[in-house]
Chain A
């Protein structure tokens, strides 16, 4: 199903402005209930409850309020281009929104709903620059039509992944640790100068490398509190090349077109907590962790 088929003229607005988020949700509930012939209050409750879990603000002035309600049969998307920015809370901070995309569907359409949300989010992230140019429903329809991807169908690995910083295989362990610290990450993809994925570097592997091999043959390490080999390791971190400490096994790689079911299977069966998504040429496309799945599939 093509993306523009989920929009309609009645669900599109270019001249509205709101004083607060509640007003916006009231308005959305009203137009959805009119378009989808369902209970306005249920939609309002759904939108506010979802927003209470976490903000649906996407960044770049775009909000994506969404929910599933009982008595609707279709999936519909409303689009509002605000006359003046509306200030809402996002992670305890005030942010201004200019565009609203709102998705409503039936409570049972979980998989479909998740797929539409993931693809819409990705579409908005890559096409945000076109939004200021849209001033009529026809323009919206035309722009959306040019987006060739279908919104329906099963999610793939690429769509449930997120981009995190990668490090070059020839950088040092110190560089990797700095990037980890800056981005609050414990794992980084390792790439070469052509953006080809070469492996993965994990802080846990560095911990393992910082202790000599023989200690892992001991059944206990609690009897020791001071251990010189450990300190010597970290002293040299700026001379150690990532290539020598990364895991290059292909078990950490996953093709971008693999279905989300296989991703779940790999993560649960083989305890692969980090998967690097690559395209057919081996180029870096993103990473999947249990946390990204949580955000893209379970609590979108």
Chain B
């Protein structure tokens, strides 16, 4: 092992531990880490820049811009209240609806945005019904992570995997959506079974919910129509981006620019709402992982895996699924996936690029589903935890794990059977 490799590993691990401690902003930490890699000449600047996956960065920016415009129309809140009223304010049906709405939203928006949109309205609905919001918050966290696994744009690990492995939106739909749909129905069955006894409300509370006039939530109907049309077209664009040989990021950016022009949105103001900390986090992370790759650390890891698994793709895929699935519950899954992507790519150079396709799906399923394990397993969970704390809701770490761990294991085991049956 060279000195450069040792330094790169040390910086990477120190940053990782510091992120885990949650004492310092994680974006600042990865920027510091990548700056150290560059100033200590662990990786030359030109090489580092090439490791920044601009497809991921631009896709994130494009989708953030579209969602920021669309959410102003009030459509997400409207759908929720409208459905709750259609359910005649039945708390169990509302839970099922919120579960599916969250899953579908997360499949097409990022999970954090979905949680930010769904959680306030869920608390409002439960306050009006006079019942505990905790079951709702738990099912929404799980739905956001499971739903987000289904598509290329549903969760950042998928965006990264799709871009690195040249997998299209359709590839994700064909390979991941079937198992995710099955999982959603299994999960919702268990949730109803577990929570149904806690969800009992009085008739007066139901009346309070039914008295809400959800039409007022649509603040800007033309904006709503325009953003739904563009969002629909962008999703169609994603479906065919592989066939058209256009990167998904180009589709998202095109959609965002058209929507800005069409709705006459103040671009200066809108652009300030792009989550630049997330974007910078990705940039810093790409450089840090780039340094690991450049110095040969990734190659060593990949070789170690190949030796341990004897080059058996089935065994490697399953190990990857459970390893990332379990570690994602404790570690941030984005850096984890960022590290595994070049590793899997290297394995691909040894055993053939086509042979490793199941490994990509294992990585996606493991890292996305694994996020459900604990309250810090995914960004959406952390957002929900802080949100509950601010609203004096006792959604403790331990309380969540009672549900998080069994359901993560359930989904990982289902994913295991799916991988075995479908690819081997």
Q: Which residues of A line the B interface, CB within 8 A?
A: 212-215, 217-220, 222-229
Which of these, B72, B81, B119, contacts A223 with CB under 8 Å? B81
Which of these, A219, A224, A228, A229, contacts B212 with CB under 8 Å? A224
Q: A212-B127, A219-B74, A223-B213 are in contact. List 15 more A-B contacts (CB 8 A).
A: A212-B391, A214-B119, A214-B124, A215-B124, A218-B120, A219-B71, A219-B219, A220-B74, A220-B77, A220-B217, A223-B81, A223-B215, A225-B211, A226-B211, A228-B130
> 19 A–B contact pairs at CB < 8 A?
A212-B127, A212-B391, A213-B390, A214-B120, A214-B123, A217-B119, A218-B121, A218-B124, A219-B72, A219-B77, A220-B74, A220-B77, A220-B217, A223-B215, A223-B216, A223-B217, A227-B128, A228-B127, A229-B127
Complex contacts, B214 vs chain A, CB 8 Å: 223
Known: A214-B387, A220-B216. A228 touches B208 (CB 8 A): yes
Complex contacts, A218 vs chain B, CB 8 Å: 77, 120-121, 124
Which of these, B72, B116, B127, B216, contacts A217 with CB under 8 Å? B116
Complex contacts, B387 vs chain A, CB 8 Å: 214
Complex contacts, A222 vs chain B, CB 8 Å: 216
Bound-complex Cα distance A219 to B219 (A): 9
Bound-complex Cα distance A227 to B120 (A): 14
- Give the dominant DSSP class at A's interface: loop
Complex contacts, B127 vs chain A, CB 8 Å: 212, 227-229
Q: Which residue of A lies closest to B208 (CB)?
A: A226
- Distance between B224 CB and nearest chain A CB, rounded to angstroms: 12
Known: A226-B211, A227-B128. A212 touches B123 (CB 8 A): yes
The A-contacting residues of B in range 200-222, CB under 8 angstroms, are: 208, 211-217, 219
Bound-complex Cα distance A213 to B215 (A): 23
Q: Which residue of A lies closest to B207 (CB)?
A: A226
B44-87, CB under 8 A of A: which get 1 and which 0? 00000000000000000000000000011010010001000000
Q: Which residue of B lies closest to A225 (CB)?
A: B211
Q: Which residues of B line the A interface, CB within 8 A?
A: 71-72, 74, 77, 81, 116, 119-121, 123-124, 127-128, 130, 208, 211-217, 219, 387, 390-391
Q: Which 9 A-B pairs have the closest CB atoms?
A: A217-B120, A223-B216, A214-B120, A214-B123, A222-B216, A213-B390, A213-B391, A223-B213, A218-B120
Complex contacts, A226 vs chain B, CB 8 Å: 208, 211
Complex contacts, B71 vs chain A, CB 8 Å: 219
Bound-complex Cα distance A228 to B125 (A): 11
- Distance between B258 CB and nearest chain A CB, rounded to angstroms: 23
- Distance between B208 CB and nearest chain A CB, rounded to angstroms: 6
Bound-complex Cα distance A212 to B387 (A): 11
Bound-complex Cα distance A286 to B124 (A): 41
- Distance between A230 CB and nearest chain B CB, rounded to angstroms: 10
- Distance between A134 CB and nearest chain B CB, rounded to angstroms: 63
Complex contacts, A217 vs chain B, CB 8 Å: 116, 119-120
Bound-complex Cα distance A45 to B294 (A): 88
Bound-complex Cα distance A219 to B120 (A): 10
Bound-complex Cα distance A226 to B124 (A): 11
Complex contacts, A214 vs chain B, CB 8 Å: 119-120, 123-124, 387, 390-391
Bound-complex Cα distance A243 to B205 (A): 34
- Distance between B273 CB and nearest chain A CB, rounded to angstroms: 13
Decide: A228 and B128 in contact? CB cutoff 8 A.
yes
Bound-complex Cα distance A219 to B216 (A): 11
- Distance between A156 CB and nearest chain B CB, rounded to angstroms: 39
Bound-complex Cα distance A143 to B130 (A): 70
Bound-complex Cα distance A226 to B211 (A): 8
Complex contacts, B128 vs chain A, CB 8 Å: 224, 227-228
- Distance between B179 CB and nearest chain A CB, rounded to angstroms: 33
* Listed residue (A213, A215, A217, A222) with the most chain B CB atoms within 10 angstroms of its CB: A217
Q: Which residue of A lies closest to B122 (CB)?
A: A214
Bound-complex Cα distance A259 to B130 (A): 53
Bound-complex Cα distance A229 to B130 (A): 10
- Distance between A20 CB and nearest chain B CB, rounded to angstroms: 60
Decide: B124 and A224 in contact? CB cutoff 8 A.
yes
Q: Which residue of A lies closest to B215 (CB)?
A: A223
* Listed residue (A213, A219, A223) with the most chain B CB atoms within 10 angstroms of its CB: A223
Q: Which residue of B lies closest to A223 (CB)?
A: B216
Decide: B120 and A215 in contact? CB cutoff 8 A.
yes
Complex contacts, A225 vs chain B, CB 8 Å: 211
Complex contacts, B74 vs chain A, CB 8 Å: 219-220
Known: A213-B390, A229-B127. A220 touches B219 (CB 8 A): yes
- Distance between A58 CB and nearest chain B CB, rounded to angstroms: 49
Complex contacts, A213 vs chain B, CB 8 Å: 390-391
- Distance between A213 CB and nearest chain B CB, rounded to angstroms: 5
- Distance between B410 CB and nearest chain A CB, rounded to angstroms: 30
Bound-complex Cα distance A214 to B390 (A): 8
Complex contacts, B116 vs chain A, CB 8 Å: 217
Bound-complex Cα distance A229 to B133 (A): 14
- Distance between A210 CB and nearest chain B CB, rounded to angstroms: 13
Bound-complex Cα distance A224 to B120 (A): 14
Bound-complex Cα distance A227 to B71 (A): 24
Q: Which residue of A lies closest to B117 (CB)?
A: A217
Complex contacts, A227 vs chain B, CB 8 Å: 127-128
- Distance between B14 CB and nearest chain A CB, rounded to angstroms: 35
Complex contacts, A223 vs chain B, CB 8 Å: 81, 212-217
- Distance between B94 CB and nearest chain A CB, rounded to angstroms: 16
* Listed residue (A212, A214, A215, A218) with the most chain B CB atoms within 10 angstroms of its CB: A214
Complex contacts, B390 vs chain A, CB 8 Å: 213-214
- Distance between B157 CB and nearest chain A CB, rounded to angstroms: 26
Bound-complex Cα distance A219 to B116 (A): 12
Q: Which residue of A lies closest to B120 (CB)?
A: A217
Bound-complex Cα distance A227 to B127 (A): 8
- Distance between B390 CB and nearest chain A CB, rounded to angstroms: 5
